[in-house]
Chain A
């Protein structure tokens, strides 16, 4: 069944000209899998995504994956003063699938509206993006990724700064996408959530571990991944000291 694997990353290293920010990263993503990418800020989660998206060139290693990914960037990066509606943003997901010089057609508009409907924002299609709540904006970005309609989704901290309703909606959307047979790579700070998914990839400059959460998230791995930021919470659950979410 190896030929069905959606994404194979082998011994990948990459950086920004200096020493590599990530090295020795190896993992595979199968259809229907939700893989959490864990690591501290600066651990290389966003760098890994940038290499996969083709924005950065790998200095070593190989990537075998689909030609395009569906991508949900961190919502903090979006401009709030920009003259676009939720629908305009969702329609941006059609750029690669329809020749760039053509205006959007009825088919694209229909797809974008369906995607907004799926994230519960059909009514807000004409609302200005900057006037939506943080959670709603994140859902619009998710709708844009749905419009991209790719076999693999990359989500960069989709739950950070999101209200409870939006978080629940996004969480069940991820489950649905996995059930459709798509592969999901989700950068997150939420260990608890990661334990409910299919695999975890722990990054801290290099790949610390990769595998099913129950077997992989040992105290040793967590300490190597998060260093001093790891704490034992009452009731012996493990937690991570809160971090500000910025670019890795």
Chain B
């Protein structure tokens, strides 16, 4: 028991845990939408594209959110401009812009003229988060959380059938933009903790794990949040006792849990599985409800 409590006697561990919990809660819920909107790769690109904005904001002493917003706007404009070059296809233009912007960001962050510490935006500095960082993350997480609650019905409708969503009162373009905005904010929250390269693990991993076991969206979100919090604890323990980088430990455990979940799911599916059992249960219930045939004369 002491081994479990002991690490969290330290302030830096408490702050790291709080930071991860904020990211985990928001990231897991956003992650469920990322999966069903098939935006995992777009989210990864978004994280890379807004990177120079984050570095710029850090250099200028501005809030990271401002840098993130400028980064996203800059990336969108750059994609739009590069797309107009006739010899570059739409797909290629995105790749060209994303890699160029990410390269620019890395160049800025790791340049010898840049003040030390900016490489944390790339790899995260979970154990170095300050009280102010945690407060900022908490506020952002609260705003994103409220918006996610408010957008639940439009998001569910547009994801179900975007071609007909307008007929039911939703505007798919606005809903898509809102979701991309929320993903960008979640990335900004996560950059401090896990870094630009690893933040996607906590956005997609817990949601992907939950999707293997539960079917309804609210339950999936609840399970994804639980998984995110569990891997946060596990990652911090691993980092504390094995003396490895905390962000990397959290990301590695997130992926490990997903792989383990896949194995469990594959094994249980082979012997009936949770959904198979549910089917059987429903079938039995139906059988029970049916009037029993009389066996007169039998």
Cβ distance B63 to chain A, nearest Cβ, rounded Å? 26
Q: Provided the pairs A77-B161, A77-B163, A83-B216 are in contact, do residues A71 and B168 lie with their beta carbons within 8 angstroms? A: yes
Find out whether the CB atom of B160 lies under 8 angstroms from the CB atom of A79: yes
Find out whether the CB atom of B156 lies under 8 angstroms from the CB atom of A92: yes
Q: Which residues of A contact B36 (CB under 8 A)?
A: 82-83
Binary contact readout A60-93 vs B (1 if CB under 8 angstroms, 0 otherwise): 0000000011010100011100111100110111
Cβ distance A54 to chain B, nearest Cβ, rounded Å? 6
Binary contact readout B161-174 vs A (1 if CB under 8 angstroms, 0 otherwise): 10110111110000
Among residues of A, the one whose C-beta sits closest to the C-beta of B216 is A83
Segment among A26-34, A37-45, A99-107 that sits at the interface with chain B:
A99-107
Q: Provided the pairs A83-B217, A128-B215 are in contact, do residues A103 and B152 lie with their beta carbons within 8 angstroms? A: yes
Q: Is the interface of B mostly helix, strand, loop or mixed?
A: helix
Find out whether the CB atom of B150 lies under 8 angstroms from the CB atom of A101: yes
Find out whether the CB atom of A92 lies under 8 angstroms from the CB atom of B168: yes
Interface centre among A82, A96, A148 (most CB of B within 10 A): A82
Find out whether the CB atom of B149 lies under 8 angstroms from the CB atom of A73: no
Give the docked Cα–Cα distance between A104 and B156 (Å): 13
Give the docked Cα–Cα distance between A43 and B110 (Å): 61
Find out whether the CB atom of A100 lies under 8 angstroms from the CB atom of B216: no
Cβ distance A16 to chain B, nearest Cβ, rounded Å? 13
Cβ distance B27 to chain A, nearest Cβ, rounded Å? 18
Give the docked Cα–Cα distance between A144 and B169 (Å): 13
Number of interface residues of B (CB under 8 A): 27
Among residues of B, the one whose C-beta sits closest to the C-beta of A97 is B169
Tell yes or no: A53 within 8 A of B by CB.
yes
Binary contact readout A127-149 vs B (1 if CB under 8 angstroms, 0 otherwise): 11001000000000000100010
Q: Which residues of B contact A3 (CB under 8 A)?
A: none
Find out whether the CB atom of A103 lies under 8 angstroms from the CB atom of B216: no
Tell yes or no: A55 within 8 A of B by CB.
yes
Cβ distance B174 to chain A, nearest Cβ, rounded Å? 10
Find out whether the CB atom of B215 lies under 8 angstroms from the CB atom of A83: yes
Tell yes or no: A173 within 8 A of B by CB.
no
A69, A77, A88: the one within 8 Å of B156 (CB): A88
Tell yes or no: B220 within 8 A of A by CB.
yes
Interface residues of B in 32-60 (CB under 8 A from A): 36
Tell yes or no: A162 within 8 A of B by CB.
no
Find out whether the CB atom of A54 lies under 8 angstroms from the CB atom of B164: no
Listed from nearest, the 9 A-B pairs whose CB atoms lie closest are A96-B169, A101-B150, A71-B167, A83-B217, A95-B169, A53-B167, A73-B164, A92-B157, A95-B168
User: Can you list 24 A-B pairs with a CB-CB distance of less than 8 A?
Assistant: A55-B166, A55-B167, A73-B161, A77-B163, A79-B160, A79-B161, A83-B36, A83-B214, A83-B215, A83-B217, A84-B156, A84-B216, A84-B217, A88-B216, A92-B157, A92-B168, A95-B153, A95-B157, A95-B168, A95-B169, A96-B169, A100-B169, A101-B150, A128-B216
